[in-house]
Structure 1
Amino acid sequence: MRFATYEYRGEERAGVVRDGVIHPLPEGVTVLDLVEREVLHAAGVEALQDPSELTVEQVRLLPPLKPPSIRDFVGFEAHIEGVSKSLDGLERVPEEWYRAPNFYFTNPHAAYGAHDDVPVPAGCSVLDFELEVGAVVGRAGRDLTPGQAREHIAGYLVFNDWSARDLQKPEKNLGLGFSKGKDFANTLGPFLVTADEVEDRRDADGFLDLEMTVTLNGELIGRDTLANCSWTFEEMLAYAARDTWVRPGDVLGSGTCGWGALAEFWGRLGERTPPPLAPGDEVTLDVERLGRVSNRIVPGRTEVYLPRARKRGRTPRP
């Protein structure tokens, strides 16, 4: 099933989508509510019993749910290879990458819908997209094995982890992880697609073979498959749950697929071709079975107060 959260005539609602028609859930019920109560399927079956004439084209699609947290992994070797050369000048994938499916926490409060405009973040002149798939946790768990983790995934969605590359690079030098270079926008959508909808695309090694593409202003520039990820979502979820809890609604990003970001092209070509995103550009991400998100870049804030640090003496107080 496909679950959507949408705005229609000034009201925010949730519903089940079938053949482009939205069948509304009861007023006040959210997709996150259903995930937390583990009743997605039952609620969807009930909603589909009521006829509807409301179509996806009539509404503004919002992020399917409001995730409590977003962990974004770096699961594709091809992406790390290209970006490492672009941002750090490295000619190889760092050895540390192979040891574990590392992730960072990004901002769940900066989520945009499938067709929302995305403003350029303040101080950014090197804006980039990132083509990913997000897995949505459907059941709380801690210290999971990969085998157990499969039962904890409710479904999947398309995820664009927007990046301000010129803000991101100096932040890395402090060794604290990403800050404003990643804090400003995540596109989630268009729907939360339940796990059973893609289970038949799982290969012998446990990977989901779903085609992923990105077009920029109508031109196809990147293509890969989710099956090229180096860890399964079950392995990533088990790692995330080590020594801590994962909760219903948490989103785990796959990491950007190969040829799924401009920075990869820059690293491989040695020049910024295609150029960084600018107002007017439209980025469209397609993932087989999961759907399409398409966002246009618009101007953002230009005047921002940002003082430099005040230097203080290093002499300790007596």
Structure 2
Amino acid sequence: MKLGRISRSSPDGDQIRLVAVEPERERVIDLAQAYRIARQGTSASAAAARRLAAAYFPSSMAAAIAAGPAFLDAAQWAVDRAGDDASLPLDDVDWVAAVDSPVIRDGLTFPLHMQQFHEKVGGGLPNPQLFKTPGYFKGSTGVSYGHDQEVPYPGFSEFVDYELEIGLIVGAHGSNLTPDEAQERLFGLTIFNDFSARDVQGPEMGMGMGPQKCKDFAYGIGPWITTMDEIADFDALTGSVRVNGEEWTSTKAEGMIYTPAELLAYVSIGDVLQPGDLIGSGTLPNGSALEIDKKLRPGDVVELEISGVGVLRNRLSAEPVVAPWWPQPRPYPFGAEQPEETAR
């Protein structure tokens, strides 16, 4: 099943609705509406049907996933019973981020991307630790953008880049898991665009505290989630990038250092996976403009595609968004400054 979130207008303002997506029929199905109609067809009162629909299909995808198998069972039941009565044309809906993740983590697991990235920035070889334990950072959940939503071009950067990744969506709580146990908690896949400000990344990462403004200005998530029962072979997934309609990259999701299950299991050690968490696979080979000597500009339209999932499209704003304040450097009190480290 493919599941997403859209924004629909109502007398009380815009509401976020969970939908089942049927690309082959060029439609989405408002799940709460379908469930309410179907329940009333089984003699439930209108008020009771609304309450049940709201419980199964809140605006939060993470909250819905937390219901476990009951969520997918209710969604399939609603689609089968009243999908035609609650459908909307695929091209006429307004998308938001496919999941409102409690935590976003982004991995680094494709060696070819690592090698090519370091060659471009002159940073030597990738850190050997990445081959000993999976690497990842935590990103801001407040800057998640859905399919066809405009992404503000940050005024503090002159080199904004995309990163083509597969978003692993967690389906259930878990801590200190084995890879087999983690695999059972993998709910589905989405497309994850880890937008990056390359000219900010080098100096910022040299602080030794991980990404900050170089990452936390935009994450593209969507267009929807494809549940794992529709994914036959993760390694066989293919990807592509188009900018303004021109193909820049064609790639494949093979050669990960650690499997998705191992990545989830490692995250769970001493920590807790939560329903709806998103863990980025790491950038696929040639999945960034930096690797292929290209560069995004304000107003560019970026389309990321993963086979079996869909296409995530975002336009960068035509004008950079300039913040009203930026910190001024302070005197360095420890003698001569050390050279800045290169980006990672």
Question: Are the counterparts in 2 of residues 16 and 47 from structure 1 also a CA contact under 8 Å?
Answer: no
Question: How many pairs were matched up?
Answer: 299
**What's the TM-score, normalizing by structure 1?**
0.89
Question: Are the counterparts in 1 of residues 105 and 279 from structure 2 also a CA contact under 8 Å?
Answer: yes
Match of 2:17 in 1: 13
Select which of 151, 165, 168 maps to 2:184: 151
Match of 2:77 in 1: 46
Task: Give the deviation of 1:280 after TM superposition.
Answer: 2.0
Match of 2:62 in 1: 32
Identity percentage of aligned residues: 29
**What's the TM-score, normalizing by structure 2?**
0.83
Matches within 5 A, 1:70-219: 70-87=104-121, 89-198=122-231, 200=232, 202=233, 207-219=234-246
Match of 1:57 in 2: 91
Offset from partner CA, 1:39-64 (integer Å, 9 cap, x none): 33212212202123412211111112
Residue 168 to residue 44, structure 1, CA distance change in 2 (3 Å): same
Q: Which amino acid aligns with 1:36?
A: A
Q: Distance in 2 between matches of 1:251 and 1:129?
A: 18
The structure whose Rg is larger is 2
Q: Distance in 2 between matches of 1:157 and 1:263?
A: 23
Question: Are the counterparts in 2 of residues 213 and 220 from structure 1 also a CA contact under 8 Å?
Answer: yes
Match of 1:247 in 2: 274
Q: Distance in 1 between matches of 2:168 and 2:110?
A: 15
Question: Are the counterparts in 2 of residues 7 and 13 from structure 1 also a CA contact under 8 Å?
Answer: yes
Task: Give the deviation of 1:175 after TM superposition.
Answer: 0.6
Q: Distance in 2 between matches of 1:235 and 1:313?
A: 43
Select which of 285, 288, 305 maps to 1:261: 288
Question: Are the counterparts in 2 of residues 122 and 304 from structure 1 also a CA contact under 8 Å?
Answer: no
Question: Are the counterparts in 2 of residues 126 and 166 from structure 1 also a CA contact under 8 Å?
Answer: yes
Q: Distance in 2 between matches of 1:74 and 1:217?
A: 27
Task: Give the deviation of 1:223 after TM superposition.
Answer: 1.7
Question: Are the counterparts in 1 of residues 63 and 275 from structure 2 also a CA contact under 8 Å?
Answer: no
Match of 1:269 in 2: none
Task: List alignment gaps of at least 5 residues for structure 1.
Answer: 266-272
Q: Which amino acid aligns with 1:146?
A: P
Task: Give the deviation of 1:230 after TM superposition.
Answer: 2.2
Task: List alignment gaps of at least 5 residues for structure 2.
Answer: 33-52, 335-344
CA-atom RMSD in angstroms: 1.7
